Amino acid sequence: MTTLRILLLLCGILGLSGCSSRVPGGAGRPAAFTNPILPGDFPDPSVTRIGRSYWVSATSSNWAPAFPLLKSDNLRDWTLVGHVFPDSLPSWADAYFWAPEISQEGRKTYVYYTARRKDGILCVAVASADSPAGPYHDHGPLIGQAAGSIDGFPVRDEKGELYLVWKEDGNSRNQPTPIWAQRMNEERTALLGAPVELFRNDSPWEGSLIEGVAMVRHAGWLYAFYAGNGCCGAGCTYALGIARARTLRGPWQKYSGNPVLTGNDTWKCPGHGTPVQYGGRWFLLHHAYHAGSQQYVGRQGVLTEFTWGSDGWPVFPARGMEAGTSADPLPVRDDFTGEALAPGWQWPLGKRPRARLQEGSLVLGAEPEGALLVRPTLAATYSATTQVQLWQLTAGARAGLVALGSPENAVSVTVGEGRVQVWQRSQGRETLLSEAPLPTAATVRLRLQARAGSWFRFDWSSDDGQNWQPLGSREADGQQLPAWDGGIRVGLLVSGPREASARFSDFQLN
């Protein structure tokens, strides 16, 4: 019996969570990769190996569909194949869908995730499926402490007993952030016994919190990879630490060389990831901000290789994320052909737009506060265009392009009632920045151009982009757009009475 078969047999006997991603795998050496391997807003990525493929999910926060599911055979090239909750949300939750942890055990795929219960408490919950692509059945919350419980991770202890590890969100109340472990039943529906604290934030570099624990066994030790300090925004201070113990309940020892991964000239504030093997090598898939786009694009998925030192501790590159150049983002184009909306479109949680494809165009129903269909941005400088079919624009509707961090904070260019207009929305309050009359035409093409993530210009054309007319003499300021936990989206907007609608011929982002 080969060593690999023995390892797989032991994994099956002990039922080690995520075991499929922690035994040698992959054909030969992994292909060269360029970060980000997950371009765009992919915070808190989790990866596991299932069969011959790798599966990833990531935080979707307040955007739907909730929790993307991506598949790869080489850790480099990823395809979006679905979502954990593609159509409706679990009935108990209403916001902040964070930190999904995907794992395989036996013939079941599990996703442990964070969401806000309708009473306002952050909880760790779990959903399961017979296939990693779904459909997923939600089992509901497992733990929701008064300060909040987030970042759940499953692990079996040295006796084969199943545990949930999570962070108590004490920083929300200016308190410490203990990392807890508690036994869980095999059905993943309830915790058993009493929790035990593993460790907490007690080192200066960790600041007000530690979180995002992912565990792996190596050479007789259980290693915890965790993040510390401030995750998000221009002033982020995130970094990666390591702790280890012989047994799950401890005692736990933090590495004296922490933090083991910090930012460099290209990637800032790395953290919250999952270790994974490919071709006999070890990698950490985690998020980081690109220095050239920071919070405007959001936390992108970055792959960093590490080795094991003679003292047993993981060794990360001295200069951090060594594959540090940023890949040029691929352009996005949707001509709205086919029978269903293409993967990758998003909308605010609980506000799925009334959208349908018809005769090679997209018909989008209006909402008084604006119906949205958007995509994550991939760089700080980009251009988005669309064509609005004016002859199909219902009276009372405004339709066009929008860039936003949330529905309350946006800039947009729209057409309607014979005018083309630029709008700025701040904290839900809308201001008209500039406008111009439209000539009689069947269609109008709109263009939104972003510079340095936060400065926007707008143009329109009545001859399908052969000649562009600028709107406004100054750039619109979008520094307030990003949400604290996510990047800017760009896409389509229709506002007006619910009986109104607009028709779009295409959408391009490059």
Which whole number is the average pLDDT over 342-358? Answer: 96
User: Is the pLDDT assigned to residue 259 strictly greater than 60?
Assistant: yes
User: Is the pLDDT assigned to residue 59 strictly greater than 80?
Assistant: yes
Task: Give the residue range(s) of CATH 2.115.10.20 domains in the chain.
Answer: 3-315
User: Which fold would CATH assign to domain 3-315?
Assistant: Tachylectin-2; Chain A (2.115.10)
Please name the residues in contact with 381: beta carbons below 8 A apart, sequence gap of 6 or more.
450, 451, 452, 453
Looking at residue 398, what DSSP letter applies?
E
Confidence of residue 330 (pLDDT cuts 50, 70, 90): confident
Distance CA 489, CA 404 (A): 5
**440 versus 190: which is more confidently predicted?**
190
Distance CA 411, CA 235 (A): 24
**Residue 145 in 3-state DSSP?**
coil
Measured over the CA atoms of residue 416, residue 417, residue 419 and residue 425, the dihedral's sign is negative
Q: What is the pLDDT of residues 279-312, one digit of tens each?
A: 999 999 999 999 999 999 999 999 999 999 999 9
| Confidence at residue 322, expressed as pLDDT on a 0 to 100 scale | 60
Which whole number is the average pLDDT over 457-466? Answer: 96
Identify the CA nearest to 287 among candidates 487, 480, 153, 149. Answer: 487
User: Is the pLDDT assigned to residue 12 strictly greater than 60?
Assistant: no
Please name the residues in contact with 411: beta carbons below 8 A apart, sequence gap of 6 or more.
402, 403, 404, 422, 423, 424, 425, 448, 456, 476, 478, 481
Q: What is the pLDDT of residues 415-427, one digit of tens each?
A: 999 999 999 999 9
Q: Are 461 and 470 in contact (CB under 8 A)?
A: no
Environment class of 23 (CB within 10 Å of its CB; exposed 0-12, middle 13-18, buried 19+): middle
Looking at residue 390, what DSSP letter applies?
G
| Confidence at residue 20, expressed as pLDDT on a 0 to 100 scale | 37
| Confidence at residue 27, expressed as pLDDT on a 0 to 100 scale | 40
Distance CA 23, CA 267 (A): 29
Q: Where are the beta strands (DSSP E) in 253-381?
A: 253-254, 267-278, 281-290, 299-308, 314-315, 332-334, 347-348, 355-358, 361-365, 371-376
User: Is the pLDDT assigned to residue 32 strictly greater than 90?
Assistant: no
Q: Do strands 221-228 and 210-218 pair parallel, antiparallel, or not at all (unpaired)?
A: antiparallel
Confidence of residue 231 (pLDDT cuts 50, 70, 90): very high
Structure tokens at 293: 């786009």
**Residue 297 in 3-state DSSP?**
helix
Q: What is the pLDDT of residues 478-495, one digit of tens each?
A: 999 999 999 999 999 999
**What's the length of the chain?**
510
| Confidence at residue 329, expressed as pLDDT on a 0 to 100 scale | 76
Distance CA 475, CA 458 (A): 8
**Residue 285 in 3-state DSSP?**
strand
Task: Give the residue range(s) of CATH 2.60.120.200 domains in the chain.
Answer: 332-509
Biggest CA pair distance of the chain: 78
| Confidence at residue 31, expressed as pLDDT on a 0 to 100 scale | 61
How much is the pTM? 0.92
Domain 332-509 in CATH 2.60.120.200? The answer is yes
Averaged confidence pLDDT in the chain: 92
Q: What is the pLDDT of residues 149-198, one digit of tens each?
A: 999 999 999 999 999 999 999 999 999 999 999 999 999 999 999 999 99
Which whole number is the average pLDDT over 96-115? Answer: 97
Give the number of C-alpha atoms closer than 13 A to the C-alpha of residue 422, restricted to the C-beta side. 23
Q: What is the pLDDT of residues 316-328, one digit of tens each?
A: 988 777 654 555 7
Q: Are 455 and 383 in contact (CB under 8 A)?
A: no
**5 versus 337: which is more confidently predicted?**
337
User: Is the pLDDT assigned to residue 3 strictly greater than 70?
Assistant: no
Which whole number is the average pLDDT over 337-360? Answer: 95
Distances (CA, A) of 304 to 42, 152, 162, 210, 453: 15, 22, 29, 20, 26
| Confidence at residue 193, expressed as pLDDT on a 0 to 100 scale | 98
| Confidence at residue 440, expressed as pLDDT on a 0 to 100 scale | 87
User: Is the pLDDT assigned to residue 28 strictly greater than 70?
Assistant: no
Distance CA 90, CA 100 (A): 14
Structure tokens at 431: 């201001």
